Structure formats: structure tokens, C-alpha cells
């Protein structure tokens, strides 16, 4: 379980996160939705250690992660799949995948990569090719695979649907939901595409201007037209 308590971040005069508190339970997907500039990406980058918070904390299964370096946070089981194309085009598919677990003993690493190749057969077929020969959806699979290589207990996904066809988005999000259940992962999913995100999530959190404005079950939030009009602009 990931527990965020009163996390605040500011960039100069801009308060990007203002005392954000939330809980991400294991075994399900928690979706954070909100318009551009709501602070969703800042939240993810702060949890992964890329941005230093002013105050507040985040604990993964009772162990504090805030204030630590990104490479230590990922080693403690919290993996972020950042926004956009986060695979490295110059490296092969296999190299991109193994990157996620280089710090683990090689036997464990090989076992995990075999498991991931079973899950994504297309990656196994293309393991020796440069990763920029993959399609957008396949690259997102690779990014997810790389995050799984560190054997995480908590997975953060920042806008995985960005630039993908609707059909692929649905596939990826269903896969994320399946991963959460089967591997008992705490998954925090950030999306602008609210409708699709809420369909795979158990809990929905709406953010606006750096604060959490509403927490509810995914069905509740999806059904609330007023909420949608006010904060999601759609």
C-alpha cells in the first residue's frame, strides 16, 4: 500500500502540489484524473524521487520513500513509467527490458524477464531489434515490462494512453488492471482520458490546481456529470 500524506511541492512561486493526501491499496488500480496543470505528473515525479517535495511524505508499506534518490526508491519497489516514450531508442528491446533489473542478481533477472516475455510475446520476437522499430503500443508494453523487471510492489503510470490509438489504450489499461490483481500491485494511474481510466480503476481521485478535490469509487465519479463538467472540461 502506498500512503501519501500532505505532500506539497512548489516550483518558485507556483504551488504545484498543495497538501495532497491519498491512499493506493494493493491489488487494484487507483486513477488520478484532472485537467492539464492539475499537478498529476508532478505528483508522480515527486513519488518517484525526481522532484523534491517541500513537505509531507509518502510511505510504501510503511517505509518512507520521500527524500530518497530515484534509484533507491525504485529498488525499494516503487516503479514509475514516465509520460511519453520512455524506452531508449538506441538500445535493443532486450537491453531496454533488462535495464529495469540490472541491480538484481542475474538469475532473478533472467527469471523475471522470461515471465515478461511470456506476457508480451511480441517483445520476445523482437528482442534483438532496436526498440524504435516497435509500434507505440509495443513500446508501452516494453516500458511496463521494464518497470516490472524491478519486481515492484507499487506501479505508477503517467499517461500511458498518450499518443496511442483508442483500441490499444483499452488493451494497455486492461493489462494494467490484470497486473494489479494478479501480482497484487498497488497501481496509481494518471490519465487525462478519464472515461477509459475509470473503467479499469476501483477508486477515482480528481485533482485540480494541485489539490485533491474528490475521492470516490470509480463508478461514482464516472457517473457524476457535474464533476466531469467542472474539472475535466469534457
* Sequence-separated contacts (24+) of 127-132 with Cβ below 8 Å: 127/92, 127/93, 127/94, 127/97, 128/92, 128/93, 128/94, 129/92, 129/93, 130/89, 130/90, 130/91, 130/92, 130/93, 131/87, 131/88, 131/89, 131/91, 131/92, 131/93, 131/96, 132/87, 132/89
Please identify, among the stretches 95-103, 174-182, 196-204, 214-222, the one whose residues bind other proteins according to the rule CB under 8 A. Answer: 95-103
The minimum distance between CB 45 and other proteins, in angstroms, equals 9
Measured CA to CA, the distance from residue 181 to residue 62 in angstroms comes to 21
The minimum distance between CB 75 and other proteins, in angstroms, equals 5
The minimum distance between CB 90 and other proteins, in angstroms, equals 5
The minimum distance between CB 71 and other proteins, in angstroms, equals 5
134 counts as binding other proteins under rule CB under 8 A: no
Measured CA to CA, the distance from residue 59 to residue 1 in angstroms comes to 8
- Judged by CB under 8 A, the residue of 56, 101, 137, 160 near other proteins is 101
Q: What is the SS3 string spanning 93-121?
A: HHHHHHHCCCCCCHHHHHHHHHHHHHHCH
Measured CA to CA, the distance from residue 31 to residue 201 in angstroms comes to 6
Any bridge partners for residue 4, and if so which? 22, 58
Please identify, among the stretches 71-79, 171-179, 180-188, 209-217, the one whose residues bind other proteins according to the rule CB under 8 A. Answer: 71-79
Please identify, among the stretches 54-62, 98-106, 185-193, 215-223, the one whose residues bind other proteins according to the rule CB under 8 A. Answer: 98-106
Give the other-Cβ count within 10 Å of 18's Cβ: 17
4 counts as binding other proteins under rule CB under 8 A: no
Site for other proteins in 136-165 (CB under 8 A): 146, 149-150
The minimum distance between CB 98 and other proteins, in angstroms, equals 7
- Judged by CB under 8 A, the residue of 82, 170, 171, 224 near other proteins is 82
- Judged by CB under 8 A, the residue of 23, 51, 88, 162 near other proteins is 88
Contact residues toward other proteins (CB under 8 A) are: 48-50, 69-71, 74-75, 79-80, 82, 86-91, 95, 98-103, 106, 146, 149-150
Amino acid at each position: 500500500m502506498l500512503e501519501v500524506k500532505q505532500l506539497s511541492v512548489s516550483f518558485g512561486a507556483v504551488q504545484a502540489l498543495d497538501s495532497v493526501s491519498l491512499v493506493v491499496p494493493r491489488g487494484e488500480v487507483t486513477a488520478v484524473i484532472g485537467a492539464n496543470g492539475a499537478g498529476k505528473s508532478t505528483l508522480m515525479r515527486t513519488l518517484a524521487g525526481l522532484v523534491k517535495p517541500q513537505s509531507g511524505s509518502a510511505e510504501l508499506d510503511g517505509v518512507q520513500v520521500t527524500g530518497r534518490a530515484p534509484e533507491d526508491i525504485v529498488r525499494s519497489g516503487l516503479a514509475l513509467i514516465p509520460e511519453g516514450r520512455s524506452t531508449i531508442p538506441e538500445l535493443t528491446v532486450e537491453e531496454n527490458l533488462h535495464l529495469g533489473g540490472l541491480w538484481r542478481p542475474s538469475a532473478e533477472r533472467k527469471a523475471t524477464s522470461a515471465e515478461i516475455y511470456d506476457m508480451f510475446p511480441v517483445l520476445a520476437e523482437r528482442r534483438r531489434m532496436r526498440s524504435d522499430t516497435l509500434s507505440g503500443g509495443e513500446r508501452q508494453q516494453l516500458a511496463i515490462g521494464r518497470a516490472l523487471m524491478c519486481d515492484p510492489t507499487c506501479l505508477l503510470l503517467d499517461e500511458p494512453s498518450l499518443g496511442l490509438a483508442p483500441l490499444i489504450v483499452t488493451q494497455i489499461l486492461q493489462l494494467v488492471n490484470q497486473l494489479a490483481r494478479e501480482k497484487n500491485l498497488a497501481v496509481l494511474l494518471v490519465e487525462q482520458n478519464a472515461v477509459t481510466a475509470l473503467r479499469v480503476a476501483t477508486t477515482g481521485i480528481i485533482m485540480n490546481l494541485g489539490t485533491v478535490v474528490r475521492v470516490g469509487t470509480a463508478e461514482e465519479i464516472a457517473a457524476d456529470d457535474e464533476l466531469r463538467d467542472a474539472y475535466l472540461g469534457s
